[in-house]
Amino acid sequence: MNSNPLSNLVEEHKEELLSLLTKLVSFQTESPPARNTLPAQKFIADYLKDLGADVDMWEIYHNDFNVVGTKKGSNSNEYRSLILNGHIDVAAIEDKELWDTPPFEATINNNSIFGRGVADMKGGLAACLFCLSLLKKEGFELKGDVILQSVIGEEVGEAGTKECINRGYSGDFAIVADTSECQIQGQGGVITGWVTIESPTTHHDGTRSKMIHAGGGLFAANAIEKMTKMINGLQDLERHWAVTKSYPGFLPGSNTINPAVIEGGIHPAFTPNQCALWITVHFYPNESYESVTQEIEEHLMAVASSDPWLRKNPPAFRWGGNSMIEDRGEIFPALEVSPNWQGVQLLQETHKQVFNKDVNVSMSPSVTDGGWLSEANIKTVIYGPGKLEQAHSLNEELSIDELFDYCKSLIQFIYQWCNLPKEEI
């Protein structure tokens, strides 16, 4: 058993942690449909107020509020600050899913806790709150600030974390307590986009022969058929990326362009005058969403230039968005992590003290809000309990031992990091 006094505190208060996680699971914060997080966020805001934090709670969408609690340190100007970030929304449960236990009633069995969100990521969020509570109640002084962010919308690309940045919140280091199986991780990025082909004129189906046969004389096109050239062009670019780009921690060809949804046409009696393709683009940590979308646009415009009709009616592009619900688009910036950061090195130390094994920097195959913190020049890592395969899964579960060990590592990191002078960064 770890003899560190902070680890011992976690051992002594295990039931408090499980009770807190059970409470968080009980809030039905599925997203979609979203617009349902107010009760959960009010609970977290009250919890933080009880810890003496300055609480900021503001509405992003109707009934969806961000909560930021700032636990001021005793010497904030001279000691390091820390952001603890997590999302309160959870993946939706489909009607056809037959859970063994009620998904919003946390159930313990065989040393695991079951319930929607235990792995992704109410377990991590509960751990952050629990660690701050223990430090407060047991009188452990923090000289630097801790900023806890409980955000909305991560499951549907609504980037509650981005809203925290826009509101001015920053820190010397950030931990996103999302699902990583207690590995220190960065991530690639994701952006969705729409490629649209549109004809300036609409034609009856009976005129098709004049469009496609010799001597027809009608300079027109079927927008759906023209979109196939765009899809072929995207596949060519995807293969080129697989050959020419790579990044440590990712399998070759992980940077993909997925044609996910296609919409076009108005009626069988008409030649389709519009076609829109919804794509999902994965890119590496050393790339930006601006650079990869520019590459795609330049490539597809080159493809269009080889077609007489597309040359005069080129594709239009719309990238990203603030919500998959509101405007059918999302952005998750990439997150690059350096093993040379002092925050990473300290986290490796506290992890090893608890887990008795080294942890290296790796790459998540998924995405989190961490990229938005990185975009704001905040050194950020993903470090949270839970296996990725449990996220969004039927009978979602989290190892209780893993959750406890995570807390032991995290609470030591918080205490040590926030008591280090800024000049040593």
> Which positions are catalytic?
89, 154
Neighbouring CB atoms inside 10 A of 4's CB total: 16
Neighbouring CB atoms inside 10 A of 307's CB total: 14
* 215 token code pair: 């001597």
CB-based contacts of 94, cutoff 8 Å, min separation 6: none
The C-alpha angle 61, 67, 72, rounded to 5 degrees, equals 155
CB-based contacts of 256, cutoff 8 Å, min separation 6: 238, 280, 281, 282
Distance CA 317, CA 40 (A): 38
The C-alpha angle 249, 251, 256, rounded to 5 degrees, equals 115
What does DSSP say about strands 361-364 and 184-187: parallel, antiparallel, or unpaired?
parallel
Which of 389, 399, 365, 150 has the alpha carbon at shortest distance from 253?
365
The C-alpha angle 182, 88, 137, rounded to 5 degrees, equals 70
CB-based contacts of 188, cutoff 8 Å, min separation 6: 247, 250, 254, 255, 282, 283, 284, 285, 334, 363, 367
Helix, strand, coil percentages for the chain (3-state, nearest 5): 40, 25, 40
What does DSSP say about strands 107-109 and 257-264: parallel, antiparallel, or unpaired?
unpaired
DSSP state of 422: G
